[in-house]
Structure formats: C-alpha cells, structure tokens
C-alpha cells in the first residue's frame, strides 16, 4: 500500500487538490450574475449571445467594449452562452474548472522544475484555497483572470520543456525549435485572454535563475543571451501594452496626472504592495471594491510601506546566492504586480483582490521553500511543518468558504463591501442597483444619494436617480436630476435621450424632439433616440419625420420589437392620412408577433388594428380575441378594456383610428 501511494503520489496529490478545491468552491453553482461588469461581459452583451459564428469571431478580435483587447475571453463567454444560455450556474462552473486546472498545472510545473514534491503541493494548495482568489473564481466577468492564468501556466510548462530539450543547443537552433514556438503561441494566447500577462517574460527570466539554473553566478554574457531569447515575448508584451493603454484611454478609464498626481500614484503603489502582503497573511475585511482615497495616501503610511519593502528587498538580495528562491519569488511578486499597481491608474479602485491571482505565487514560493530552510536544524522540523501546513490550509479553506457566501448576489456582495470599507461610492451604487431590481425604490434613492455625497461628479448615480423618478411618475424630479447630469457632461446622448422621454410624457413635444435631435447629432446611430424621436414626432404632428426615425431605428436594430410595433401602430391607426399604410403595418405587426411567439397581447392588439385598417375584419376580430385571452392578469386590466372597445368596432366593420394622431 505504501509502495502504491509513493509510486502514484503525484496523482493522489492532484486528486486531493481537485476534490478540496471543488468542495470549497462548488457553492458557486447557485450564485447569480452580479451587477458590476457581468452584464457588460455576458448577461446583456448581445454580441456574445449569437453563438460561435464568423461574425462573433470578427467582433471578438475588434471589440474594445470592456476597455481591454481580449478576444479569447470574449470567445470563451460566447461558447458558455451557447452551452448554458442565461443560466449563471454553467458560467460559474467553467470558471471553477479553469481554477482547478490552473492549480494542477502550477503543482506539476513546480514539481518538475524543482523536484520538491511537498513544497510544490503547498504552493498549489495556497493558490487553490486562498480567500484572495475568491474574486477571480466567483466573478463571471473575471473569466479573463482564470483563462489568462491557464495560458500563463501552459507557457511555463512549455518553457520548461523547451529548456530541458534544448539545454545545450545553439541560440538559433533553440529559437527555431517547435518547443520554443509553442511557448510563443501559449504566451500570445494568454495576452489575448488578459493583457496583465505582459510581465510573464520577466518571470521566465527569473525562472532561468531559479529553479531552472540557467544562470549560475551573475554573468552578463549569459543574461544577455537569455534576454535575447525573450525578445519575441518582449515584443508581444510591448504591443499588448500599447493596445491596452490606447483602448483604456479611449474608453476614458485611464486617470490623467492632473486628476491623480504621480506622487499619489507612487504612494498608493507602495502602500498597496505592503497591504497585499498583509492581506495574504491575514485575509480579513475583503471587498469587491476598494475605493481610492487620495487624502489617505499620506507620507507616514507610505514611509512605513517603503521601509517594509526595502527591508525585505535587502534581505532577499543578501541571501540571493544561497537561497535563490527568495530572489525569484520576491521579484515575481514585485514585477507581476506592475501592470495593476496603479502607476498607470485605470479605474477608481485603490487595489483589487483579483490582482493577486497569479502575483501572490511568488510569495507562496518564498513561504514554501523558506520555512523548511528556516527550521532546517530543528529536530521536530518535519512534524511541525506538516502540522503547520495542514493548519494553514484548513484555515484558508474555512475563510474561502465563508468569503464565497458574499458572492451569492449583488446585494450581499456590495452590502459586505459597505460593511468593510469607508465612503465606498461604487458599493453604494451597486447596492442601489440591486434594490431597484427588487422594486425597493426609496431605499435605492438613499444609496444613490450617498454616492452623490461621496462623489458629486459620478454621472451614473445622477442618471440612475433620474431613471427612478421617471419610472415612478415623478417627472419634475426626473427632469431636475437629468439636468444636473447634463451639467456634469453636457453632450451625453444617453442623458439627452432620457430627458426627451420625460418631456414626451409631460406633453412638451418640442423640447422632447430637440433633446432627441441633439442626442442624434452626437451619436447618429443611436437607435433608441430614433425610436423615441419617432414617438414624439407622432404626438407633435409630424408623421413624415416620425416614419423616417422609426425606419432608421429598425435599420439599426432590425428585430427591435418596440419601434417595430410603434411604427405598425402608427401606420395602421393613422386614419386616412399620408402615413396610412395598412399593408406595411400588417407585415411589421406580424413580424413582431412572430418574434415573441404570439405571447404579447399588446402586439396582437396592433396586428388586429392593422387587419381592421386593411378591411380584413374577420382576422381583426380573431386576433383581438386572442389578445384578450392573454389579458387575464390584473395589471393588464386597462389594456383589456381598450381591446374590448376596439373589438366592438371590428365586429361592426369599423377600423380603429387613434384620436391623438393627426
């Protein structure tokens, strides 16, 4: 039995890692989408919901929707949607599968590189079960993290194979070898999944020092040769960095120096480096968003952080010759964090748990190899290390299991963020959004008000407040909020469109049309504004212009039901005017009904009106009766009464003419 365990111990360790990780994280199958980025990436992204097609491939390789160029991530989400649709369980479980595979690859690669079984297993266990890694696994939008790390691990594996196979070959022979090409391909795929992999060439150079042993003493000629070997990777990293910066800047996510000075960025970077170490050791009060508070970036906090980092760095460099893993592990930690440490500030977060997914591996290596060396002369070293490792893994597992609970839904996630951070306007905004979805409007307004108190210039909160007032009939308050939003960003087409909708409801058709036209001057392909302009122009008495806007909305969104129904209604119920076109109205109304499987009574009502306008009263009566059959719920009582009144006309052989139409 012992012989069997020894012979297949790699297999048993992989099995234990898999079972432990799956058991702790399996609860994610019951979690939903959260209201930060999940809609952008998956649940409301129509581009990925069409399935794997040539059109999707083209979009994925040209899209900059989320402020990143990561086509493989988009294609991964597309495949998930094709397999699981809107059920979040499948999306979550795919993230978990990638996390498990990443854990196993890390273990196997470290084991083969170092031939140190238990240290490699401990690093993999920390990677699999650390609470800081919950965000990367439990957040569907962070597929880029687990997918990018999958290719990071494959790159390290291929690089290890390349080094072992081509150890003594000349440089040119090594670069032309298919093992080397495999490393390049995996690295390129990784960059197409998450641009944060730009630091991987630097990590490969560290692995040359330890554990691959390609650098004995610091020999500049050897280092130069190894750097030359990394040139293709460096070029790919440079290209990816430029693309990412331009995309983020075009999106407006890059914070300029005038808004956050270089001094404060350096302060935040140093403090974050120190905080991440503390969070690794004591992972408490974790949050989905840590707000950046420049006034808290004082010289005192920065000084202590700098002293800690300098002390560790000095110790590492002094021991680098005798304990090479210290050098590799520490520089892995410092270097891999560089793209997200805040020197180029993207977004408003001070730091993020997801940034630790691959970066903490360097510190895990230091712990796994350093503690045995520290206790090397102690008689009870083996027993103490075994018990300590098991205790740490157990504690991490309990903390991770507990942290996962907060990711069940948006409300639990961001309420926890409010409980663990101060002045967290993003958490208030997301809690408000979750409350809106539960129809808790007054509570939501309270949270949006807190957002505005903390961050007066946060446009989405103003717009969301306006939307609540608009949807609850408080139109004057809605106008007030939208006007305040336009003071923050005068040429924002979405706000102008929303303000136009309110003016339409207030009967201020001239002001409404002006808002829609201004929005369309800024964004000519704004389909919503075209549709809304069509409705306002109908009520204003401009049928020709209304038809043009409805048709343009349908050209931009051919299967968009609302303008399709609006145009059909207008063409059918306009009476004997120039806009009267029953044939076209029937075609549009039929298409709208087909798209909804004849399940929406208001669309059947339009179809009935169109049949009646064409003189086909038999079909009009039959269709109106079908519409009545779908109006049994109390909230449809008004529509039911209107259809009943129209049905009387149809049975009398009379069409319905909309009184409000010219």
Domain spans of the chain? 9-408, 423-486, 491-558, 580-662
Q: What is the pLDDT of residue 313?
A: 97
Task: Convert the pLDDT of each residue in 607-621 to its tens digit.
Answer: 999 999 999 999 999
Q: What is the pLDDT of residue 338?
A: 94
Rg of the Cα atoms in the chain: 30
Give the C-alpha separation, 457 to 380, whole Å.
60
Residue 169's pLDDT band (boundaries 50, 70, 90)? low
Residue in 236, 160, 242, 223 with CA at minimum distance from that of residue 197: 236
Q: What is the pLDDT of residue 577?
A: 62
Q: What is the pLDDT of residue 348?
A: 78
Q: What is the pLDDT of residue 431?
A: 97
**Who has greater pLDDT, 535 or 502?**
502
Residue 605 has pLDDT above 90, yes or no: yes
- CATH superfamily, domain at 423-486: Tetratricopeptide repeat domain (1.25.40.10)
Q: What is the pLDDT of residue 662?
A: 43
Distance in Å from the first CA to the final CA of the chain: 91
Q: What is the pLDDT of residue 661?
A: 47
Q: State pTM to two decimals.
A: 0.88
Question: SS3 breakdown of the chain: % helix, strand, coil, rounded to 5?
Answer: 75, 0, 25
Query: How many other β-carbons are positioned within 10 Å of the β-carbon of residue 23?
Result: 11
Give the C-alpha separation, 190 to 571, whole Å.
53
User: What's the mean pLDDT in 36-55?
Assistant: 91
User: What's the mean pLDDT in 159-170?
Assistant: 78
Task: Convert the pLDDT of each residue in 274-288 to its tens digit.
Answer: 999 999 999 999 999
DSSP track, 609-633: HHHHHTT-HHHHHHHHHHHHHT--S
With tokens 């008689």, the residue in question is: 379
Q: What is the pLDDT of residue 623?
A: 94
Q: What is the pLDDT of residue 190?
A: 97
Residue 3 has pLDDT above 70, yes or no: no
Contact 330, 263 (CB under 8 A): no
Residue 659 has pLDDT above 70, yes or no: no
Which sign does the torsion angle of CA 283, 285, 286, 292 carry? negative
Could you please state the CATH topology (level 3) that the domain comprising 580-662 is classified under. Answer: 1.25.40
**Who has greater pLDDT, 540 or 76?**
76
Q: Apex CA 349: angle with CA 347 and CA 355, to 5°? A: 100
With tokens 């706000």, the residue in question is: 495
User: What's the mean pLDDT in 183-203?
Assistant: 96
Residue 345 has pLDDT above 80, yes or no: no
Q: Which residues contact 71 (CB under 8 A, 6 or more apart)?
A: 60, 61, 63, 192
Residue 261 has pLDDT above 90, yes or no: no
User: What's the mean pLDDT in 518-534?
Assistant: 93
Same CATH fold assignment for domains 491-558 and 580-662: yes
Could you please state the CATH topology (level 3) that the domain comprising 491-558 is classified under. Answer: 1.25.40
User: What's the mean pLDDT in 206-233?
Assistant: 88
User: What's the mean pLDDT in 338-345?
Assistant: 84
**Who has greater pLDDT, 259 or 219?**
219
User: What's the mean pLDDT in 422-437?
Assistant: 95
Give the C-alpha separation, 473 to 478, whole Å.
9
User: What's the mean pLDDT in 376-393?
Assistant: 91
Task: Provide the percentage of residues in the chain whose pLDDT is more than 70.
Answer: 94
Residue 251's pLDDT band (boundaries 50, 70, 90)? low
Mean pLDDT, rounded, of the chain: 91
Q: What is the pLDDT of residue 635?
A: 82
Residue 254's pLDDT band (boundaries 50, 70, 90)? low
Looking at residue 40, what DSSP letter applies? I
Q: What is the pLDDT of residue 278?
A: 96
Q: What is the pLDDT of residue 601?
A: 93
47 — phi, psi (to 5°)? -65, -30
Q: Is 338 helix (H, G, I), strand (E, B) or coil?
A: helix
Residue 177 has pLDDT above 80, yes or no: no
Give the C-alpha separation, 60 to 74, whole Å.
6
**142-145-150-151 Cα dihedral, nearest 10 degrees:** 120
Give the C-alpha separation, 88 to 91, whole Å.
5
Residue 170's pLDDT band (boundaries 50, 70, 90)? low
Angle between helices 361-374 and 324-336 (to 10 degrees): 160
C-alpha distances (whole Å) from 300 to each of 251, 309, 463 are 34, 14, 39
Contact 481, 501 (CB under 8 A): no
């Amino acid at each position: 039995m012992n012989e069997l365990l020894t012979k297949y111990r790699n297999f048993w360790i992989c099995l234990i890692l898999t079972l432990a990780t799956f058991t702790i994280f399996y609860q994610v199958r019951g979690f939903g989408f959260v209201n930060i980025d999940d809609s952008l990436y998956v649940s409301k992204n129509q581009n990925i919901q069409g399935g794997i097609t040539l059109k999707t491939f083209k979009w994925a390789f040209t899209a900059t929707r989320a402020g990143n160029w990561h086509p493989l991530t988009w294609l991964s989400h597309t495949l998930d949607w094709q397999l699981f649709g809107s059920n979040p369980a499948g999306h979550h479980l795919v993230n978990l599968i990638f996390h498990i595979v990443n854990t196993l690859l890390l273990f196997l690669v470290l084991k083969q590189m170092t031939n140190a079984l238990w240290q490699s297993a401990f690093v993999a266990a920390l990677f699999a079960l650390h609470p800081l890694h919950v965000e990367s696994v439990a957040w569907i939008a962070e597929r880029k993290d687990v997918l990018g790390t999958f290719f990071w691990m494959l790159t390290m594996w291929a690089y290890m194979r390349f080094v072992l196979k081509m150890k003594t070959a000349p440089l040119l022979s090594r670069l032309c070898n298919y093992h080397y090409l495999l490393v390049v391909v995996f690295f390129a795929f990784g960059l197409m999944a998450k641009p944060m992999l730009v630091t991987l060439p630097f990590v490969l150079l560290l692995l040359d020092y330890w554990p691959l042993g390609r650098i004995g003493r610091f020999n500049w000629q050897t280092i130069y040769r190894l750097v030359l070997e990394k040139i293709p990777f460096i070029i790919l990293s440079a290209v990816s960095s430029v693309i990412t910066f331009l995309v983020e800047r075009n999106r407006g996510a890059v914070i300029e120096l005038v808004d956050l000075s270089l001094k404060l960025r350096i302060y935040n970077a140093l403090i974050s480096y120190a905080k991440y170490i503390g969070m690794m050791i004591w992972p408490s009060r974790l949050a989905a968003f840590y707000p950046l508070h420049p006034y808290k970036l004082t010289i005192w906090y920065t000084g202590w952080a700098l002293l800690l980092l300098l002390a560790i760095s000095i110790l590492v460099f002094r021991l680098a010759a005798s304990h090479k893993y210290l050098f590799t592990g520490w520089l892995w930690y410092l270097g891999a964090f560089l793209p997200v440490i805040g020197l180029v500030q993207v977004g408003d977060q001070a730091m993020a748990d997801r940034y630790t997914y691959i970066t903490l591996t360097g510190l895990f290596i230091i712990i796994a190899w350093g503690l045995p060396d520290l206790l090397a002369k102690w008689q009870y070293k083996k027993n103490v290390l075994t018990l300590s490792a098991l205790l740490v893994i157990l504690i991490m597992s309990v903390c991770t299991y507990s942290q996962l609970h907060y990711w069940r839904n948006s409300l639990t996630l961001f309420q926890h963020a409010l409980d663990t951070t101060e002045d967290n306007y993003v958490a208030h905004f997301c809690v408000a959004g979750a409350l809106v979805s539960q129809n808790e409007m007054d509570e939501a307004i309270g949270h949006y008000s807190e957002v505005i108190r903390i961050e007066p210039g946060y446009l989405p909160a103003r717009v969301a407040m306006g939307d609540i007032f608009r949807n609850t009939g408080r139109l004057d308050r809605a106008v007030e909020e939208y006007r305040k939003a336009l003071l923050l960003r005068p040429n924002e087409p979405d706000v102008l469109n929303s303000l136009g909708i309110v003016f339409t409801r207030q009967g201020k058709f001239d002001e409404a049309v002006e808002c829609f036209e201004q929005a369309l001057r800024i964004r000519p392909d704004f389909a919503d504004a075209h549709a809304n302009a069509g409705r306002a122009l109908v009520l204003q008495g401009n049928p020709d212009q209304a038809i043009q806007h409805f048709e343009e909305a349908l050209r931009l969104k051919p299967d968009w039901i609302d303008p399709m129904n609006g145009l059909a209604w207008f063409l059918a119920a306009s009476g004997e005017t120039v806009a009267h076109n029953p044939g076209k109205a029937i075609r549009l109304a039929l298409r709208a009904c087909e798209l909804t499987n004849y399940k929406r009574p208001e669309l059947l009502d339009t179809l009935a009106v169109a049949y009646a306008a064409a003189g086909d009263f038999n079909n009009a009566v039959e269709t109106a009766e079908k519409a009545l059959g779908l109006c049994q719920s109390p909230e449809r009582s008004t529509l039911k009464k209107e259809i009943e009144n129209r049905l009387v006309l149809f049975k009398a052989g009379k069409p319905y003419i909309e009184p409000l139409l010219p």
